[in-house]
Chains A and B, each alone.
Chain A
Amino acid sequence: MSENNITFSIEKLNVWYGEKHILKDNTTLLQKQQITAMIGPSGCGKSTFIRCLNRMNDFIPNFRHTGAVLFENQDIYRADMNPIEVRLRIGMVFQKPNPFPKSIYDNITYGPRLCGIRKENELDEIVERSLIAAALWAEVKDNLHHSALALSGGQQQRLCIARALAVEPEVLLLDEPCSALDPIATAKIEELLIEIKKTHTVVMVTHNMQQAARVSDQTGFFLMGELIEFGKTSTIFTNPRDQRTEDYITGRYG
């Protein structure tokens, strides 16, 4: 693995919420332009982990961490790092689709507008490019100024992906992006992620092991805040090193 293939290098990351020790000594490397899936039972810390990658945990009272999260060789938790810049470079999509109660167009242009882009034709271009990238353009191109809340759940989630892509991040984080969707919408998102990884690094949390097996290149298995095993998805699912990983993927854990 050469040095410049690494997007994230996480070193001895510990996280506490108040007294609760959520993540314990996580150390791993996340590779560029690959899909990394984080699996594990509920409450194992995988969501906390992914939220550490773009400092979305900053808003949680009593959040505390030790260790380093190096993004392109810079610790994003360093005091002189601007969390806003971090989040611009590392986009995020959440478990429940959360479009703003505005039009499809305004949802996508929200981020670019905050960055100071005001020209109509530039914004139009961004909207089209983002929606094409999120495989939603064909479905909504005639209704750009309709409410985003009128879209189906799967469309809303793809809109959220388009919205995240609109600010041109280098990384896309997805926290259980398909858990609220039906299998057809899920399949569409999975297809889309495989397309997106050609240009972006993708890190996702998923409850669905088939999903991890289908789309990811790397898989990490979390248990009680520990990163038990991390490696190539094919290895993890066919020949795990750790007994606990095997127990989980064969369904002997919750």
Chain B
Amino acid sequence: MMLQTKKLTLRQRERSLVRQTIANRLFIAAALFALFIALATLVILVVNILIDGLPRLSLDFLTAYPSRKAERAGILAPLVGTIYMIGLTALFAFPLGVAAAIHLEEFAEKNRFSKIVEIAIANLAGIPSIVYGLLGLGLFVRLLHLERSLLSGALTMSLLILPIIIMTAREALRTVPNTIREGSYALGASRWQTVRYQVFPLALPGILTGTILALSRAIGETAPLIMIGALTYIPFLPDGLFSPFTVLPIQIFNWVSRPQQAFAINAAAGIIVLLVILISMNAIAIWLRNKYQKMQNW
């Protein structure tokens, strides 16, 4: 850097100070404006939906099967379908994703192959969900003859969120300081013991948070399930892995696309139910994280 030879005059300094203050205020104003736009959109959307849908919400709405008459239609089938599907997806994707992350982060040698895997996973996370739907259709529905079942849906969703779970779990594992691993190794622990007793417990809150956020993404997905043929008119509850099913977003999509106003109101009510599920899942994620962090820091 060049040394400044001429000293700034007092006047010059004052002027630059004023300019900086103005720039500072302008920036804060711009940031606040952006925040306002984002929040206002959200508030308008939510309020709109609440006004439309809240009066329609009732126990009947939650416990009724679909119907051609809007006022008698309910969301029992898609609600239960969503819960089953997410449960199954978690069952498949969590152990697989966490195991993959642990392998990549703690066991795999860092070489070109692992670099390629890493890039591939990051790319998979960015692939449009409809492509996963096509994959699910080809692989699970057709090739493995799982038909248009709950199982096919859950497996497709697992594929969809696996990359996200792997990436967030790796992130969580990486936050465990290396000094902890070294301390464990120095006491004669094997790699496996070090992961099992030190690294994994420390990373668990982050892993759980990432998994729940990935699952809440899966809840809102519609496209891949339409692809594999989740139906809209299901007047019964899924009775097993191979049962046909539907989920909330599909039901909402179906209602919205009807011309009658009454169905639009049903859709709004369905959206409220979906939002409540999503918000509670996120709340659980935050609660879990805080709980485990407290246990670690006391």
Instruction: Please give, as numbers and ranges, the residues of chain B lying within 8 Å of A93 by CB-CB distance.
Output: 186
The docked-state distance in angstroms from the alpha carbon of A93 to that of B186 is 8
Instruction: Please give, as numbers and ranges, the residues of chain B lying within 8 Å of A94 by CB-CB distance.
Output: 179, 182-183, 186
**Size of A's binding interface in residues, CB under 8 A:** 29
- CB-based contact A92/B186 at 8 Å: yes
CB of B119 closer than 8 Å to a CB of A: no
Q: Mark A149-190, 1 if CB is under 8 A from B, else 0.
A: 110000000001001100100000000000000000000000
- CB-based contact B110/A54 at 8 Å: no
CB of A43 closer than 8 Å to a CB of B: no
CB of B188 closer than 8 Å to a CB of A: yes
The residue that A54 contacts in the complex, of B109, B184, B186, B197, with Cβ under 8 A, is: B186
Instruction: Please give, as numbers and ranges, the residues of chain A lying within 8 Å of B184 by CB-CB distance.
Output: 100, 110
- CB-based contact A87/B187 at 8 Å: yes
- CB-based contact A98/B187 at 8 Å: no
Instruction: Please give, as numbers and ranges, the residues of chain A lying within 8 Å of B197 by CB-CB distance.
Output: 110, 114
Instruction: Please give, as numbers and ranges, the residues of chain A lying within 8 Å of B182 by CB-CB distance.
Output: 56, 59, 92, 94, 98
- CB-based contact A147/B298 at 8 Å: yes
The residue that B180 contacts in the complex, of A84, A85, A100, A164, with Cβ under 8 A, is: A100
- CB-based contact B189/A114 at 8 Å: yes
The residue that B186 contacts in the complex, of A87, A96, A146, with Cβ under 8 A, is: A87
The docked-state distance in angstroms from the alpha carbon of A92 to that of B197 is 19
**Size of B's binding interface in residues, CB under 8 A:** 22
The docked-state distance in angstroms from the alpha carbon of A14 to that of B298 is 45
CB of B296 closer than 8 Å to a CB of A: yes
CB of A79 closer than 8 Å to a CB of B: no
The docked-state distance in angstroms from the alpha carbon of A105 to that of B209 is 30
The docked-state distance in angstroms from the alpha carbon of A114 to that of B191 is 12
Instruction: Please give, as numbers and ranges, the residues of chain B lying within 8 Å of A254 by CB-CB distance.
Output: none
The docked-state distance in angstroms from the alpha carbon of A214 to that of B78 is 76
CB of B216 closer than 8 Å to a CB of A: no
The docked-state distance in angstroms from the alpha carbon of A101 to that of B180 is 9
Instruction: Please give, as numbers and ranges, the residues of chain A lying within 8 Å of B63 by CB-CB distance.
Output: none
User: How distant is A150 from chain B, measured CB to nearest CB, in Å?
Assistant: 7
The docked-state distance in angstroms from the alpha carbon of A54 to that of B183 is 13
Most chain A CB inside 10 Å of its own CB: which residue of B187, B189, B298: B187
Instruction: Please give, as numbers and ranges, the residues of chain B lying within 8 Å of A150 by CB-CB distance.
Output: 298
CB-contacts of B180-201 with A (<8 A) = 180-190, 193, 197-198
The residue in chain A whose Cβ has the minimal distance to the Cβ of B198 is A100
Q: Given A114-B193, A150-B298, do A91 and B186 touch, yes or no (CB 8 Å)? A: yes
- CB-based contact B296/A101 at 8 Å: yes
CB of A115 closer than 8 Å to a CB of B: yes
CB of B88 closer than 8 Å to a CB of A: no
The residue in chain A whose Cβ has the minimal distance to the Cβ of B176 is A101
CB of A88 closer than 8 Å to a CB of B: yes
- CB-based contact B298/A111 at 8 Å: no
The docked-state distance in angstroms from the alpha carbon of A102 to that of B185 is 17
Q: Given A61-B109, A96-B179, do A101 and B186 touch, yes or no (CB 8 Å)? A: no
Q: Given A56-B182, A98-B179, A98-B183, do A84 and B296 touch, yes or no (CB 8 Å)? A: no
The residue in chain A whose Cβ has the minimal distance to the Cβ of B295 is A101
The docked-state distance in angstroms from the alpha carbon of A98 to that of B186 is 11
CB of B5 closer than 8 Å to a CB of A: no
CB of B12 closer than 8 Å to a CB of A: no
- CB-based contact B185/A59 at 8 Å: yes
CB of B297 closer than 8 Å to a CB of A: yes
Instruction: Please give, as numbers and ranges, the residues of chain A lying within 8 Å of B185 by CB-CB distance.
Output: 56, 59, 87
CB of B265 closer than 8 Å to a CB of A: no
Instruction: Please give, as numbers and ranges, the residues of chain B lying within 8 Å of A164 by CB-CB distance.
Output: 186-187
The residue that A163 contacts in the complex, of B177, B179, B187, with Cβ under 8 A, is: B187
- CB-based contact A167/B298 at 8 Å: no
CB-contacts of A107-161 with B (<8 A) = 110-111, 114-115, 146-147, 149-150, 160
Instruction: Please give, as numbers and ranges, the residues of chain A lying within 8 Å of B296 by CB-CB distance.
Output: 101
The residue that B183 contacts in the complex, of A100, A115, A149, with Cβ under 8 A, is: A100
The residue in chain B whose Cβ has the minimal distance to the Cβ of A54 is B186
The residue that A149 contacts in the complex, of B181, B190, B193, B298, with Cβ under 8 A, is: B298
CB of B227 closer than 8 Å to a CB of A: no
The residue in chain B whose Cβ has the minimal distance to the Cβ of A86 is B188
The residue that B110 contacts in the complex, of A61, A87, A160, A167, with Cβ under 8 A, is: A61
CB of B202 closer than 8 Å to a CB of A: yes
The residue that B188 contacts in the complex, of A99, A149, A167, with Cβ under 8 A, is: A167
Q: Mark B157-188, 1 if CB is under 8 A from A, else 0.
A: 00000000000000000000101111111111
13 pairs, A vs B, C-beta closer than 8 Å: A56-B182, A59-B182, A85-B188, A98-B180, A98-B182, A100-B180, A101-B202, A101-B296, A110-B184, A110-B189, A111-B189, A147-B298, A163-B183
Task: Given contact pairs A93-B186, A98-B183, A110-B189, enumerate 15 new A-B contacts (beta carbons under 8 Å).
Answer: A56-B182, A56-B186, A61-B110, A87-B185, A94-B179, A96-B179, A98-B177, A98-B182, A100-B183, A100-B198, A110-B197, A111-B188, A114-B187, A147-B298, A149-B297
User: What 4 pairs across the A-B complex have the smallest Cβ distances?
Assistant: A88-B188, A98-B179, A111-B187, A92-B186
